Amino acid sequence: MIRPGDPTLALALQPYLGGWPTNPDKGPADECGVFGIYGHPEAARVVYHALIALQHRGQESAGIVAADGANLNTHRGMGLVSDVFEKPETIQRLAGDIAIGHVRYSTTGSSRLGNAQPVVVNTRRGGLALAHNGNLVDAPAIRDRLEEQGAIFTTSIDTEVLAHLIVRSRAKSLEDAIVDAVSQVHGGYALLILAEDRLIGIRDPHGIRPLQLGRLDGSWVLASETCAFDTIGAEFVREVAPGEMVTISEGGKLRSRAAVREAVAPRPCIFEFIYFARPDSQFVGVNVHTVRKAMGRQLAKEAPADADIVIGVPDSSISAATGYAEESGIPYEVGLVKNRYIARTFILPSQAGRESALKLKLNPLRKVIEGRRVVLVDDSIVRGTTSRHLVSLLREAGAREVHLRIASPPYQNACHYGIDTSKSTDLIARGRTVREIADAIGADSLAYLSVEGMVKATGLSPEAGFCLACFTGDYPVPVPEEADKYALEGGCGCD
């Protein structure tokens, strides 16, 4: 026991498989991960290792595109990075000293090879590859307009909308064409674009989706998270600023410019701290583990419990659970063991599939739990499927009481910026009191961290600003009322 202490016609996408999504109400997925490198003799191999570090952000498909100065060499596949690039010769065929990669969770459409990224297009400017993390709220309307003008789409992802807009731009330079394209869309995004001779990274004006800049032996690297830099031995330089576009070309020269015409207030997604990012990553200048532990401490202050042990739900809740234990003085214990060969359950396409997988994913330690009053700390509750099952597991293992403590506020609003959490009406906190949620889950008590406490735990000034839309309903980027959230898949999106 541990004690506390046209150009459209010129757009030719590479072959894709499958048709349109058949189940638009598919369950949620998660974020995606992107990585890019310029000026490395083994660019594809570096990207491969970086994508493994980002695997937690996407487990459905993976892809790498490398540029050798004349061609874009591509490989994409379904499954984990290690499966897609299982054969050594696969990486060897991806020649070039510039490369980008992508790991993906689908949002609401089908999981199929045709939607795997990076997306590769042939244009009058040469070949381009796009890797995208995020969601464009107006992509369905833009797509409808483009189709009326004769555009042909072969995927169901909003990344392809960006590709069409870039190709159709009359701007003289590629960078100007990209600025022209992103000025026509709204949402949250981190976008990497690979040309035959350059690497470009762009972050949305609010900085909702993360993008980091680093150096590796003289080569520039871009990644969704800094943990990818640690894996490959790169040095973190800085975050790409909200609304910034960086271009790396001409032997490694980096140029920066604004990709948006009007500056807006930064609103990075606070869910990166709560769940998505790895604990060893840095986000908005703060270590993720440190913030999660502070959230747990704050939760213990706001929602104490009379209990014998504190346990956390592996893996994203462990930091918060240890913080709760230290602040409350209740001993921390390992009460749940995770089967690490089971993927995140919320990515599965059916409720039955998620429930079956949950039985394989976590196993309670009866010797630790039996006869005890347990504080179970988790990072969030979305639908409630996982929480309900966890409470049941603990009771079956002999827990006398189960007090559920959530290190974030009630999740009441769907995200439209790249985190698919289904429709708002499917969220268990929507329209229910905390007591009603506790009864539905089967917990003896339930308490959430306050919005104010959550922001305070980041150590940043409230004026710094976060996207809190999933908790407060205050969307920094307006979502069109007529928009069908399920018409297109975002670049990527929880129980």
Q: Which residues are catalytic?
A: 32
| Cα–Cα–Cα angle for 269, 272, 275, rounded to 5 degrees | 135
Distances from the Cα of 77 to the Cα of 100, 107, 113, angstroms: 15, 17, 6
Q: Is 494 annotated as a binding residue?
A: no
CB distance 218 to 169 below 8 Å:
no
Distances from the Cα of 452 to the Cα of 23, 112, 233, 491, angstroms: 38, 40, 37, 30
Q: Which residues, listed in sequence order, are joined to residue 446 by a DSSP beta bridge? A: 404
Q: Which residues, listed in sequence order, are joined to residue 236 by a DSSP beta bridge? A: 214
Q: Is 197 annotated as a binding residue?
A: no
Backbone torsion region of residue 285, taken as left when φ is above 0, otherwise alpha when ψ lies between -120 and 50, otherwise beta = left
Q: Is 378 annotated as a binding residue?
A: yes
Other beta carbons within 10 angstroms of residue 475's beta carbon come to 17
DSSP string, 185-208: --EEEEEEEEESS-EEEEE-TT--
| Cα–Cα–Cα angle for 351, 137, 484, rounded to 5 degrees | 55
CB distance 418 to 189 below 8 Å:
yes
What is d(CA 321, CA 234) in angstroms, rounded to the nearest whole number?
31
Alpha helices in 329-420 (DSSP H): 351-361, 366-369, 385-396
Q: In the structure encoding, which two tokens stand for residue 487, read together?
A: 């018409």
Q: In the structure encoding, which two tokens stand for residue 236, read together?
A: 């973190």
Q: In the structure encoding, which two tokens stand for residue 294, read together?
A: 């502070």
CB distance 251 to 39 below 8 Å:
yes
Environment class of residue 127 by beta-carbon count within 10 Å: exposed (0-12), middle (13-18) or buried (19+)? Answer: buried
Q: Is 227 annotated as a binding residue?
A: no
DSSP string, 205-258: TT--S--EEEEETTEEEEESSTHHHHHHTPEEEEEPPTTEEEEEETTTEEEEEE
Q: Annotated binding site for Mg(2+): which residue ranges?
A: 316, 378-379
Q: Annotated binding site: which residue ranges?
A: 269, 316, 378-379, 415, 467, 470
